[in-house]
């Protein structure tokens, strides 16, 4: 089959989810991750019927945490793509439950477990483009969710009245809202269009009187004592322009109020009419995301900041940092039953648990796999060996030797900023850089090194051996470091190929030296993609000017164009290469085009699949799987003649599928948000080329 499966990984671009207000996103493609299904999909059975097993890497970004008020061992976790995880053992193990809404960019800002019914869970959400969000409700413990009002409102804070569980208060970008019937109906309780009571970040409700409500905005806090009929500012003693991210009412004395802001932590002993700055936390750690009180010891206060977890044993009079300063902590849950049991949710590190009040923490990400995989490569020669490149991770380059059971960092030297793609060559890992050039992983030095030299002269097919006794002495070509922007790589037994902006390059010494490989008479034609057969005879390239094929190792070439309205091929796949019914699949701006006569004629795939840009494509025999940029996964079991949309979890995500070998019992799916998944297949699920005939 054409196109070495481990040789290329990602092509078409899509935006990655943001991971929080302070996250520095990976700059791959300027916040674009390029994905490509360069793989064999070996399951002709409906993928929706398969069981997808999360394989890691563990950890990721946590946005919110909420413990069951009646059982602190039961904890819910919200993410930045709408997913909700659950734990029943105090955060030691996690399970993906469901998604609050259907948006991949939905941030679960707040979670509430109804103390009257442990199966009822509320989620407040907002989307990064500010066009969506709202409140969602689950009545089965987080497994399924339905809209519960405020659709289209960016809900950043949600609180439930302790004295009346039917009352919930939501803080959104456009004001404060209340429900008195458990989220069946909502009403605005802040003045519409108010210049200050907007851009809410935090909400607190008096435990005895639900008409007393505190609201923290991007600017300063406000308060109402009559259920929202009248609001007044409560910022005396607080530095102006303070983003109030959390408000805490002392359980023993509701008149004692704590507020965490970008300017530090404040305390009031008279219902927030006068604030006093809490001392002891350095200026650098002032951005306090959450402030929480120990349910078993009201004098103990925890502050989750952008520079670690701080703890006060005396009601805020003195503070001590309990974690490393570079931990960004977004969420916090303190047990109501187990003394000193603290769970924190972080950026990058995932979940950490302490059993000694924060003195020591251990990673607790079993089952919480929420990594952003931006590139993936598979070693075809060594089954089970996979390389994953992660965004927003403490160790961005990870490899597994055992099908994802364990992961380890793969050497220094390669930065994800500026990384374009990764590849598995016949003798190791390679990476293409956005600004040009290649790097390879040196196993002996356990480091990534710049690799490849480019010759100024062109090199075509291998020259025939000279029979003349007079042989002209060859002059060594002038070499320079390879700095071409490499769009794609492919490997045959005789030669390696690199599709670059300056032409097709060829190496016959395992990537050490590269020379121009003319595509017909042209040597500098920008090449988007390259596919090569194992014996090197069939070479197919996608260029800005069209598709160009050679069936004699590059001696002769033929041009093949898509219909004019297609907009030009972005990349090319080949199916049934070893059968009479060879099928070519080209991805273009309008959709997928198929040819069954070697590229002479093309037809738009239109039966059951959107006529839109294709994000990813997997081909295995007669089974094609496509991920569309408009959303959704589409599968064909008859070589692209008819398509159907895959429903369920797969329809909501983006999964470039890979496998360890052509007839493996396991296939892998790499997610843009949730790490790597594996699908175990039965023997009868092995795909056969031309199985549809």
pLDDT for 658 equals: 41
What gap in Å lies between CA 592 and CA 607, rounded to an integer?
Answer: 11
Q: How far is CA 655 from the centre of its chain?
A: 10
Strands 453-458, 513-516: parallel, antiparallel or unpaired by DSSP?
parallel
Residue 419 maps to a domain = yes
What gap in Å lies between CA 145 and CA 524, rounded to an integer?
Answer: 54
Q: Do 283 and 272 touch, CB atoms closer than 8 A?
A: no
What gap in Å lies between CA 488 and CA 11, rounded to an integer?
Answer: 8
Find the helix or strand (DSSP H, E) in which 652 lies: helix 649-652
Q: How far is CA 177 from the centre of its chain?
A: 32
Q: What is the DSSP letter of 608?
A: S
Among 598, 596, 597, 646, which residue's Cα sits nearest to residue 618?
Answer: 646
Residue 424 maps to a domain = yes
Residues lower than pLDDT 70 in the chain: 1-52, 282-286, 456-477, 576-581, 620-621, 631-632, 648-669, 678-693
The residue length of the chain stands at 693
pLDDT for 270 equals: 95
Sheet with 438-442, strands from edge to edge, namely 419-425, 428-433, 438-442, 447-451
Q: Computed from CA positions of residues 129, 135, 141, 146, in that sequence, does the dihedral angle turn out positive or negative? A: negative
Residue 438 maps to a domain = yes
Find the helix or strand (DSSP H, E) in which 651 lies: helix 649-652
Residue 338 maps to a domain = no
pLDDT for 678 equals: 67
Quickly tell me which residue has 């509320």 as its tokens.
Answer: 122
Residue 189 maps to a domain = no
Could you write out the DSSP letters of every residue in 137-181?
EESSTTSS-EE-S-TTS-EEEEEE-TT-TT-EEEEETTEEEEESS
pLDDT for 278 equals: 83
pLDDT for 194 equals: 93
Number of domains the chain contains: 1
Give me the CATH number covering residue 395.
2.120.10
Residue 42 maps to a domain = yes
Q: How far is CA 511 from the centre of its chain?
A: 31
What gap in Å lies between CA 672 and CA 390, rounded to an integer?
Answer: 9
pLDDT for 459 equals: 55
Contacts of 493-500 with C-beta under 8 Å, sequence gap 24+, read 493/534, 493/535, 493/536, 494/462, 494/535, 494/536, 494/553, 495/532, 495/536, 496/425, 497/530, 497/532, 497/539, 498/438, 498/530, 499/527, 499/528, 499/529, 499/530, 499/541, 499/542, 500/526, 500/527
Residue 122 maps to a domain = no
Among 522, 538, 519, 541, which residue's Cα sits nearest to residue 530?
Answer: 541
Q: Do 86 and 77 touch, CB atoms closer than 8 A?
A: yes
Among 204, 197, 331, which residue's Cα sits nearest to residue 268?
Answer: 204
Which segments within 508-613 are labelled E, that is strand?
Answer: 513-516, 527-532, 539-543, 546-550, 558-560, 569-575, 583-588, 592-595, 603-604
**Cis-peptide, bond into residue 57, ω within 30° of zero:** yes
Q: How many DSSP H helices and E strands does the chain contain?
A: 1, 62
Domain of residue 36 covers 5-18+26-55+371-460+478-554+648-683
What gap in Å lies between CA 607 and CA 622, rounded to an integer?
Answer: 16
What gap in Å lies between CA 294 and CA 252, rounded to an integer?
Answer: 11
Tokens (6 digits) for 213? 């409500």
pLDDT for 197 equals: 94
Among 478, 473, 585, 568, which residue's Cα sits nearest to residue 526?
Answer: 568
Residue 411 maps to a domain = yes
Q: pTM of the entire structure? A: 0.77
What gap in Å lies between CA 645 and CA 91, rounded to an integer?
Answer: 36
Half-sphere CA count of 350, side-chain side, radius 13 A: 28
Among 78, 180, 95, which residue's Cα sits nearest to residue 133?
Answer: 78
């Amino acid at each position: 089959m054409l196109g070495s499966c481990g040789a290329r990984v990602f092509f078409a671009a899509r935006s990655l989810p943001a991971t929080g207000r302070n996250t520095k996103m990976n700059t791959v493609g300027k916040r674009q991750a390029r994905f490509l299904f360069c793989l064999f999909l070996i399951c002709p059975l409906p993928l929706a019927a398969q069981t997808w097993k999360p394989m890691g890497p563990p950890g990721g970004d946590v946005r919110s945490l909420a413990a069951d008020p009646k059982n602190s061992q039961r904890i819910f976790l919200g993410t930045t793509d709408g997913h909700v995880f659950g734990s029943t053992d105090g955060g030691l193990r996690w399970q993906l439950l469901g998604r609050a809404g259907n948006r991949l960019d939905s941030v679960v800002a707040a979670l509430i477990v109804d103390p009257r019914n442990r199966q009822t869970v509320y989620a407040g959400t907002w989307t990064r483009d500010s066009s969506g969000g709202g409140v969602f409700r689950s009545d089965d413990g987080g497994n399924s969710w339905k809209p519960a009002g405020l659709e289209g409102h960016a809900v950043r804070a949600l609180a439930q009245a302790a004295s009346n569980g039917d009352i919930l208060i939501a803080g959104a970008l456009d004001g404060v809202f209340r429900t008195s019937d458990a989220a069946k109906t909502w009403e605005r309780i802040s003045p519409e269009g108010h210049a200050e009571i907007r851009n809410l970040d935090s909400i607190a409700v008096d435990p005895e009187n639900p008409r007393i409500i505190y609201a923290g905005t991007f600017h300063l806090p406000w308060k109402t004592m009559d259920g929202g009929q009248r609001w007044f500012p409560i910022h005396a003693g607080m530095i102006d322009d303070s983003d109030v991210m959390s408000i805490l009412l002392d359980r023993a004395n509701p008149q004692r109020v704590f507020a965490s802001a970008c300017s530090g932590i404040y305390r009031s002993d008279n219902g927030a009419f006068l604030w006093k700055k809490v001392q002891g936390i350095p200026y650098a750690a002032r951005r306090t995301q959450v402030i929480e009180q120990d349910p078993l010891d009201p004098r103990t206060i925890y502050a989750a900041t952008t520079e670690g977890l701080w703890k006060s044993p005396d009601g805020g009079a003195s503070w001590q940092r309990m974690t490393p300063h570079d931990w960004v902590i977004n969420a916090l849950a303190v047990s109501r039953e187990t003394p000193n049991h603290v769970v924190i949710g972080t950026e990058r590190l995932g979940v950490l648990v302490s059993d000694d009040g924060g003195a020591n923490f251990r990673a607790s990400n079993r089952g919480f796999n929420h990594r952003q995989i931006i590139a993936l490569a598979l070693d075809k020669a060594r089954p089970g060996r996979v390389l994953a490149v992660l965004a927003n991770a403490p160790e961005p380059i990870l490899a597994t030797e055992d099908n994802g059971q364990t992961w380890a960092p793969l050497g220094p030297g390669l930065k994800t900023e500026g990384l374009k793609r990764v590849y598995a060559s016949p003798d190791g890992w390679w990476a293409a850089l956005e600004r040009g050039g290649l790097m390879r992983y040196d196993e002996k030095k356990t480091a990534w090194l710049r690799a490849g030299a480019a010759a100024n002269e062109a090199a075509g097919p291998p020259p025939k051996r000279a029979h003349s006794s007079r042989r002209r002495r060859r002059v060594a070509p002038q070499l320079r470091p390879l700095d071409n922007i490499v769009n794609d790589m492919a490997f045959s037994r005789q030669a390696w190929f690199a599709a670059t902006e300056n032409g097709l390059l060829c190496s016959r010494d395992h990537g050490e030296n590269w020379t121009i490989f003319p595509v017909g008479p042209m040597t500098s034609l920008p090449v988007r993609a390259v596919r090569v057969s194992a014996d090197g005879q069939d070479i197919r390239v996608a260029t800005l000017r069209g598709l160009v094929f050679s069936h004699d190792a590059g001696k002769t070439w033929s041009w093949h164009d898509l219909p004019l309205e297609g907009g030009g091929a972005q990349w090319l796949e080949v199916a049934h290469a070893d059968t009479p019914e060879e099928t070519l699949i080209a991805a273009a701006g309008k959709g997928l085009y198929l040819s069954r006569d070697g590229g002479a004629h093309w037809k738009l795939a239109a039966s059951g699949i959107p006529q839109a840009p294709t994000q990813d494509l997997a081909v295995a025999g007669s089974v094609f799987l496509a991920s569309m940029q408009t959303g959704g996964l589409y599968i064909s079991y008859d070589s692209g003649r008819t398509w159907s949309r895959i429903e369920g979890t797969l329809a909501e995500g983006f999964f470039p599928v890979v496998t360890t070998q052509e007839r493996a019992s396991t296939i892998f799916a790499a997610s843009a948000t949730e790490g790597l998944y594996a699908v175990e297949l039965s023997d009868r699920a092995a795909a056969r080329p031309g199985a549809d005939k």
